[in-house]
Amino acid sequence: MKQLAMVLLLLALAIPARAADFVLSSPDIAQGKALDARQLLNDFGCTGGNVSPALSWQDPPAGTKSFALTVYDPDAPTGSGWWHWVVFDIPAGARSLPAGAGSADGKALPAGAVQSRTDFGAPGYGGACPPKGHGAHRYVFTLYALDVAHLGLAPDSSAALVGFNLGAHTLAKAGITAM
């Protein structure tokens, strides 16, 4: 009986370790570092490239049936932050998104992936552009490993609705917070 309990304990400890191997990386952005001008918005007084960064990931947890990606600014002076990019139904076999995948037409996204409406009012990546004098903001890139192949949401779903559904289906998360 003690041996069975020990085996179960070791298995339980091994499962979170596996999820810890789920990593998001990028040649274009880095943890705690400022975004390059390519990832900044070209509007609202900012003059960036408005190009989504290249992203890649490895070691999703067992049972992953799709992925979703969000980019969120918790420091935006709105009372609720600002959603810069929302993508869901990324196929389970995908392991990367090329730079520029967040263009409004979404042509560089994997087949079946859906970009939904951001706080800019349209689908696609909207770069960083903190208000003048507001200081540095954090841009949280989060990749979700999901237990469903499709969230069953419309392409014009709000980020809040997507987030609610992500909360119900997340197996693991990986992320990068840039400035």
User: What b-and-e string marks burial along 66-87, b requiring 16 or more CB atoms within 10 Å of the CB?
Assistant: bbbbbbbbebbeeeebbbbbbb
Give the pTM. 0.88
The pair of structure tokens assigned to 147 is: 């237990």
The 10s digit of each residue's pLDDT in 70-97 is 999 999 999 999 999 999 999 999 999 9
Question: Domain limits of the chain?
Answer: 22-178
Question: Is the CATH code 3.90.280.10 the one for domain 22-178?
Answer: yes
pLDDT score at 5? 35
CA 96 to chain centroid, in Å, comes to 12
State which residues of the chain have pLDDT below 50. 1-18
pLDDT score at 156? 94
